[in-house]
Amino acid sequence: MAAPLAKQAGAVLRDLALRSARLRGGCPAVQLTSRRWLNLQEYQSKKLMADHGVTVQRFFVADSANDALEAAQRLKAKEIVLKAQILAGGRGKGIFNSGLKGGVHLTKDPKTVEQLAKQMIGYNLSTKQTPKDGVTVKKVMVAEALNISRETYFAILMDRACNGPVMVGSPQGGVDIEEVAVTSPELIFKEEIDIFEGIQDRQALQMAKNLGFKGPLQQQAADQIKKLYNLFLKIDATQVEVNPFGETPEGQVVCFDAKINFDDNAEFRQKEIFAMDDKSENEPIENEAAKYDLKYIGLDGNIACFVNGAGLAMATCDIISLNGGKPANFLDLGGGVKEAQVYQAFKLLTADPKERGGEGALCCCQQVVQGRGWQSIGQESPSASVQATQQSCSQCHQMAFLCG
């Protein structure tokens, strides 16, 4: 039931966990990096948007200081913004281990761009959302800096309540939209789009009006909105969020930044996009798990979970907490689990240094009963004593075990 489902779990878990961590004020219970459904760097998302006619700041990508200089010169912009390309947020306030402060810099001089890039590329940038040691910056984005005279918020998402695509916008952009929703709900505008009829001109225009665009900018904004909607459908996104969807003093409507969430289920028909997936900022144990098609998410406890089925996995973590323990991980074997996977899963769990003891949860798998997994693990980790209580209550024997 949960094969690709739990796969998404890791992605969104990270994406949102950090937001909640910041809200809680304390340090996050887990060392997680901020992640999107699919790991696209900023320049990749912007290129995707640009390819679909959405107006973004002109930019080039560089992976050396020299290239950065060339890019800055080619750009011929009045002012240049240099941005380190890492997946985590909070770049502006981050620090490089080269000593450079800030992952985002503005300058008018291409030479400065080169100097700054020298201190960025190949060094680690630590922000509030990265692990302590930071993340190595391999690429930088050299973009035309544009002034923003007005910031609005615009998003398109697949909404369950409306059973289809919904546009959400607010003339109050740039800040946390959830705050706006609470303090000034009348500033949030929603419009349902019929998936078969597509976005109507009047809908796009009305949204542009609601966002506060006036005069010729209205039509420009409406065009951008239509293009964003087409992008949203074309790439099988579950959400495209543009914040800020801004206005420049020169009279341009520009998408200054975007977050795109992709539907993992659409991977089979979005191969190009999924090929851009950057796994380098994942925890290695997750990449390892993904290799064997196991859905693993590290948590902060010391009781291992090993479960077949996402709902059951969640319930298992609940039960552990209910009894005073702390789950060390969420691990969903999925429906079609094979012996080899079970073995690999065990290896992952026992290799995890956080584990002091492990409690396995229900395992719906004939292969495990057959014991190959048990024996092999028994040999490799003699401290693990495996007790299996077999309850034959289904054709694929359900089994609870303790591994301590």
Partner 1 sequence: MTIRIYDHHAFMTYLQFSSVMEPQEKKKIILVKQRLHFAWRSRALQPSTVFCCCRCPCEGTMAHCHTARLLGRFLRLHQNGVRHCSYSASRKNLYINKNTKVICQGFTGKQGTFHSQQALDYGTNLVGGISPGKGGKTHLGLPVFNSVKEAKEQTGASATVIYVPPPFAAAAINEAIDAEMPLVVCITEGIPQQDMVRVKHRLVRQGKTRLVGPNCPGVINPGECKIGIMPGHIHKKGRIGIVSRSGTLTYEAVHQTTQVGLGQSFCVGIGGDPFNGTNFIDCLDVFLKDPHTEGIILIGEIGGNAEEDAAAFLKENNSGPNAKPVVSFIAGLTAPPGRRMGHAGAIIAGGKGGAKEKIAALQSAGVVVSMSPAQLGSTIYKEFEKRKLL
Which residues belong to the active site? 153, 241
Smallest Cα–Cα separation from 135: which of 120, 150, 153? 120
Q: Which of 317, 328, 348, 365 binds partner 1 (CB under 8 A)?
A: 317
According to CB under 8 A, which residues from 330 to 349 bind partner 1? 330, 332, 335
When the beta carbons of 85 and 238 are compared against partner 1, the nearer one is 238
Is 365 near partner 1 (CB under 8 A)?
no
- Phi/psi region, residue 330 (left: phi>0; alpha: psi -120 to 50; beta: rest), is beta
Distances (CA, A) of 92 to 32, 56, 96, 108, 117: 19, 19, 11, 18, 15
Quick check: 168 binds partner 1 (CB under 8 A)? no
* Residue choice 160, 271, 324, 379 for contact with partner 1 (CB under 8 A): 160
The yes or no reply on residue 286 touching partner 1 (CB under 8 A) is no
- Candidate residues 33, 141, 398, 403; the one interacting with partner 1 per rule CB under 8 A: 398
| Least distance in angstroms from the C-beta of 1 to partner 1 | 4
- CB-CB contact of 71 with 142 (8 Å): yes
Q: Spell out, one character per residue from 222 to 251, where the chain touches partner 1: x when CB under 8 A holds, - when not.
A: -----------x--x-x-------------
How far does Cα 324 stand from its chain's mean position?
Answer: 31
Shortest distance (Å) from residue 295 CB to partner 1: 9
Cβ atoms < 10 Å from Cβ of 353: 5
Residue 104 interacts with partner 1 (CB under 8 A): yes or no = no
Which residue stretch of 18-26, 68-76, 252-260, 276-284 sits at the interface with partner 1 (rule: CB under 8 A)?
18-26
Task: Output the DSSP codes for 78-133.
Answer: SSEEEEE--SSS-GGG-EETTS-B-SEEEES-HHHHHHHHHTTTTSEEE-TTS-TT
The pattern of x and - marking residues 180 through 219 that bind partner 1 according to CB under 8 A reads -x--------xxx-xxx-----------------------
List the Cα angle 241/91/147 in 5-degree steps: 65
Tally of CB atoms within 10 A around 17: 19
Amino acid identity for residue 178 in this structure:
E
Nearer to partner 1, 54 or 310 (CB): 310
Min dist. Cβ of residue 138 to partner 1 (A) = 28
Q: Which region, judged by CB under 8 A, interacts with partner 1, from 95-103, 156-164, 339-347, 373-381?
A: 156-164
Which amino acid is it at 309?
A: G
C-beta closer to partner 1: residue 20 or 287:
20
Q: How does DSSP classify residue 327?
A: B
CA distances from 212 to 52, 169, 182 (A): 24, 10, 20
Q: Is 209 exposed, middle or buried (0-12, 13-18, 19+ CB in 10 A)?
A: middle
Chain positions contacting partner 1, by CB under 8 A = 1-6, 8-9, 12-13, 16-21, 23, 29, 158, 160-165, 178, 181, 190-192, 194-196, 233, 236, 238, 263, 265-266, 268-269, 297, 307-315, 317-322, 327, 330, 332, 335, 362, 364, 393-396, 398
